[in-house]
Structure 1
């Protein structure tokens, strides 16, 4: 009828059997619950690692993009200044291809004259020419 432990004995009836089955089911469900929680935490941890890895890649890519954009801006500014220099030089080349401009330039800088011409030098201009 009953298992005895010392002075206390357990009744073996339908109520106690149902209660033992419920307790056993609760223990099993707790074990499953713990396993499911552990498995869920492992899956969440795996996803967190993947998200972290991709996050690091995104941050690095954004840093590289910022660096490249700054280099592009510098190179565009450089290109703009080079184009301006090219424009100035092309104007000078056009002027040097003009015979009258070259003649004027040679006369002013090197004091060349045509045969029979006389060059007069003024004092305020002579000071600038000494530099």
Structure 2
């Protein structure tokens, strides 16, 4: 028999030895299971953090791309407007280089006349001139 702890003593026979071995194996198994679960949870937490980080980057990249696309669309619209204005101004420049057009424009807008000409003003035409 084993040493007595107080009034209770442990029996030393095959059954108790087998039971002690099984209990020790169970403790070791439980410890390994807890260790493996802890590792698995740690790995899962790391992957979850990685996935969240990458997901955030993807969402922010898509948001930036959408903003850039809207800016591109606005700039294209502005470019088209400026091209049309440029075309109109180019046509005006060509017209201003034409002497007959310039002469007509000066006569209509500024009422210039050639020496010896008389300008007559009509009532229906006067309304258009006020604009």
Q: Same fold (TM over 0.5)?
A: yes
Which consecutive unaligned segments of at least 5 residues does structure 2 have? none
1:12 aligns with 2:13: yes
Which consecutive unaligned segments of at least 5 residues does structure 1 have? none
Say whether the 8 Å CA contact 2:2–2:9 is kept in structure 1.
Answer: no
In 1, Cα distance between the equivalents of 2:93 and 2:57?
A: 52
Q: Alignment length, in residue pairs?
A: 130
Residue 63 of structure 1 aligns with which residue? 63
Alpha-carbon distance change, 7 to 32 in structure 1, aligned in 2, over 3 angstroms? closer
Residue 90 of structure 1 aligns with which residue? 90
- Between 1:36-45 and 1:61-70, the stretch displaced more is 61-70
CA RMSD of aligned residues (A): 2.2
In 2, Cα distance between the equivalents of 1:11 and 1:96?
A: 122
Structure 1 runs of 4+ with >4 Å offset:
1-9
Residue 110 of structure 2 aligns with which residue? 110
Q: Secondary structure at the match of 2:114?
A: coil
- How do residues 35-46 of structure 1 correspond to structure 2 at under 5 angstroms? 35-46=35-46
Q: Which digits, 9 at most, give the CA deviation of each residue in 1:35-64, with x for residues without a partner? A: 110111111111211221222222222221
Say whether the 8 Å CA contact 1:3–1:10 is kept in structure 2.
Answer: no
In 2, Cα distance between the equivalents of 1:116 and 1:95?
A: 27
Q: Which digits, 9 at most, give the CA deviation of each residue in 1:66-112, with x for residues without a partner? A: 11111111111111111110011001111101111111111111122
After TM superposition, the score normalised by the length of structure 2 is 0.84
After TM superposition, the score normalised by the length of structure 1 is 0.84
Give the C-alpha shift of residue 114 in structure 1: 1.9
